Every structure is written in structure tokens, then in C-alpha cells.
Amino acid sequence: MRRSVILSIGVCCVFGVSGIGSGQQLSGRDIALKVHDSNKSAAGIVLKGQMVLKNLKSGSSESRSVVALSVRNGGLSKSLFRFTDSSYSGTTFLTLERSGSDNLQYLYLRSVGSPRQIEGSNREDSFVDTDLSNEDLGGSRVDDYNYKRLPDQNIGGKECYVLERYPKSTSSNYSKHIVIIDRATMLPLSVKSYGRSGRVVKTMRSGQFQKVGGAIYVPMYMKVVDIEKKHETLLRVKNAVEKQINRGYFNRNRLNMRWAEQ
């Protein structure tokens, strides 16, 4: 079964349930699978926050309100992401995890009126105009990478796993990623993505992990910086709750409907 791995973005780390075991014998791939299975909720998780896109060269920035919903069903995740204000208000992104095949991703645009299945040969492409990639929003899978576990580190008082993962595809934009995972929450604290030149081209940092519901942790802020383009996307979660979510939302034909959680 091909399973998605959600290492590089906090938003997606809320999908699922935690299952942290003894870390000493785990291989890099085992840890990746654990992260994938952690912090997911069968009931559902609702996040509300603000996304700030900033041009680090000019200093100009743009702010958008976002709402994200996620739910775990039968071991597979479903997630929704919507801009609720600005000129992109109503733009909605749906990811449906599938077993045995690629995840499905749909984008709803108000002006177009009907959702479009987004099928890019490159999941590393940007998600709309942010610094997040489609892969960050659930497009990648554990088996897309080879893993190497590096010595654990203590960072800011947190015991962390350190993984190096290498894309299997030779046409990937990245040569490797170094991922630091907080052992206590199984949330990634930091991801450094290295370009084909061997340099860090993108970084992700998250923090202020907050417990939501039973054993689910959510990062209350996450910052992705595109070093080459000198552009950053800051996602600040204002409100995170575990609650029962209407499963009907996760339907490609209902992406235009208003959510009670908005």
C-alpha cells in the first residue's frame, strides 16, 4: 500500500492518531510511517488561522484567512483547505488519500464554478501562489523516498529524531530533505530541503505545539521560506479543535458549499 507521508507541513500533521513506541530500533522509514500515522483524528480537526505571504526582498506582504478541516476514515485521510477572505475567498483544496494509488487532489475556484482535479507530474510544484507545495498538502507518499536515520538530537529541550530522506525520482527538484521530528508529539520541528545544487533551497519550521483533544498535537505556527525566491509563507493557527465534522464536505462536488466551521 502506498501511504502518504506528511513531514513537511504542520497543517497536515493533524490528520490521524498518534502511536509512538520505543524509538531506539526504528529505522528512518519506520519513523516516517509513524509520523504519517500520528496526530490524526477519526472525528475531525478544525483549524482556523491566518496565512501571510511575504516577499523578503521588497518586504511587501499579503494576508489571507484560512480554514482547514481533516478527518481520518478507515486508515485514510481526507483534508480540506479553504481561503475565506481576500480575492481568493472560497478557493478550496481537497485531498483524498487512496490506498494503492496516487492521492486525489481537487481545486475549486469560484470563477470556474466546478472543481478541477489537479494532476501534476510534479508534486513539488507550488500549491497555488504560496511557498507550500502540493506535496506539502498531502501529495507525497512514504514510498516516494529512501530514508536514512541520523543520530537523535536534543533541540531546545526536545528529544528529536533526525531523518534524511532522498527522493527516488531522478527528476526531483530536491536532492534530499533533513527532517527533525519531535519525539513527544511526532510533529516535524524543522525541514530543510536541499536543491539539486546541494544547497538548502527551502526551510520549514513549526512550533508552539498545542494538544487538541486526546493525543493529537497541532503546531500553532509554521513558516516555510523559499530561500531562492526570498519569499515566505507564515501560517499562524488561531484556533484548533477536535470535533465531529460533516463527512459530506469531503466531496468533490460539494466544494462550493459553505461550512459551519467557517
Footprint of another protein on this chain (CB under 8 A)?
53, 55-57, 60, 62, 87-88, 91, 107, 109-112, 114-122, 125-129, 134, 169-171, 196-200, 225, 227, 229-231, 252
The rounded radius of gyration (Å) of the Cα atoms in the chain is 17
Question: Which pairing describes strands 200-212 and 145-155: parallel, antiparallel, or unpaired?
Answer: unpaired
d(CA 229, CA 106): 26
Nearest distance from residue 115's CB to another protein, in Å?
Answer: 7
Residue 70 or 130 with smaller CB distance to another protein:
130
| Interatomic CA distance for residues 211 and 217, integer angstroms | 4
Q: Cβ closer to another protein: 60 or 154?
A: 60
Shortest Å, Cβ 90 to another protein: 10
Compare residues 169 and 244 and give the one whose CB is closer to another protein.
169
Could you tell me the smallest distance in angstroms from the CB atom of residue 154 to another protein? 14
Residue 80: burial class (beta carbons within 10 Å; 0-12, 13-18, 19+): buried
Smallest gap from residue 126 Cβ to another protein (A): 6
Closer by beta carbon to another protein, 107 or else 218: 107
Nearer to another protein, 20 or 53 (CB): 53
Nearer CB in complex with another protein: 166/215: 166
Q: Among all chains, which residue has been given the C-alpha cell 530533505?
A: 177
Identify residue 193 by its one-letter amino acid code. S
Closest to 39 in 3D by CA, of 66, 25, 67, 20: 20
Torsion from C-alpha of 158, 45, 223, 93, nearest 10 degrees: 150
Compare residues 44 and 139 and give the one whose CB is closer to another protein: 139
CA separation for the pair 229, 135 (Å, rounded): 19
Residue 7 CB, shortest distance to another protein, in Å, is 19
Closest approach, Cβ 226 to another protein, in A, equals 10
- Shortest Å distance, C-beta 172 to another protein: 10
Distance CA 193, CA 7 (A): 11
Q: Identify the CA nearest to 27 among candidates 165, 123, 140.
A: 165
Question: Is residue 25 within 8 Å of residue 49, measured between CB atoms?
Answer: no
